[in-house]
A and B are shown apart, each in its own frame.
Chain A
Amino acid sequence: GAGVSQSPSNKVTEKGKDVELRCDPISGHTALYWYRQSLGQGLEFLIYFQGNSAPDKSGLPSDRFSAERTGGSVSTLTIQRTQQEDSAVYLCASSVSGTDNEKLFFGSGTQLSVL
């Protein structure tokens, strides 16, 4: 596609439910990132995928969070047993090859609200 696509754009869920957030990166981009942006804050790194390498999960805040990337393209971020503190905008980004100085292309994010 023309840009990074994320769905849904908004998600309202009840505390304790599981949610799945989807990211379609730019076609051909091998590097994919997930960030979280809480209200009025900067971006917090969650996880990074590069090609077929094992993902860097060092930013995931708890074991309730997991992510996968199928076929080197689409990625899904799953939050189990959601808590109110999980409410945030979840941003996905991709880059061509993940090299050092490369700019990231971001999607418009998924606004998650946990009631």
Chain B
Amino acid sequence: AQKITQTQPGMFVQEKEAVTLDCTYDTSDQSYGLFWYKQPSSGEMIFLIYQGSYDEQNATEGRYSLNFQKARKSANLVISASQLGDSAMYFCAMREPPFSGGYNKLIFGAGTRLAVHP
């Protein structure tokens, strides 16, 4: 069965520094997608970045990048130049098959709470 593991319940980072949030996954499928979402205290889930299993390049979206190591089944999120507004819960998620036919069911990890200090 597919599974997402986030081993860091909480992380601290100094403003303007970079931080890496860990995510490992387990799947027997060759084709899959990985997502990162941010959940601020307001509760809304905000999409950050997506990586497809066949993508050769690591995904980047502004200050967010995904360090995708397929052989190790890891998809760590890197936030560069942290800002106070980055303080939130961060969830790693994987698209669960069947993926054809437009079924985008995501399974989520337990999340990492990030606190950015001034």
Contact = CB atoms under 8 A, between A and B. Distances in A.
A95 interface: yes
A107 B104 contact: no
B102 interface: yes
B43 A48 contact: no
A100 B47 CA distance: 15
A20 interface: no
Interface in B36-84: 37, 42-47, 50, 52
Contacts of A105: 47
> Interface residue tally of chain B, by bracket?
20 to 34
Contacts of A3: 44
Given A42-B108, A104-B45, A107-B44, A98 B33 contact: no
Contacts of B37: 106
A64 B102 CA distance: 27
A40 B106 CA distance: 18
A21 interface: no
Contacts of A59: 105
Interface in A68-104: 89, 91, 93, 95, 97-104
B110 A42 contact: yes
Contact of B107 (A45, A104, A108, A109): A45
A93 B45 contact: yes
A29 to B, nearest CB: 12
B77 to A, nearest CB: 15
A27 to B, nearest CB: 18
Contact of A48 (B4, B105, B109): B105
Given A104-B47, A104-B106, 9 more contacts: A43-B45, A43-B91, A98-B103, A98-B104, A100-B100, A100-B104, A101-B95, A102-B104, A111-B43
Interface of A: 3, 31, 33, 40-45, 48, 50, 56, 59, 89, 91, 93, 95, 97-109, 111
14 contacts: A33-B105, A42-B109, A42-B110, A42-B111, A45-B106, A56-B103, A56-B105, A95-B104, A97-B102, A98-B102, A100-B103, A101-B33, A101-B52, A101-B104
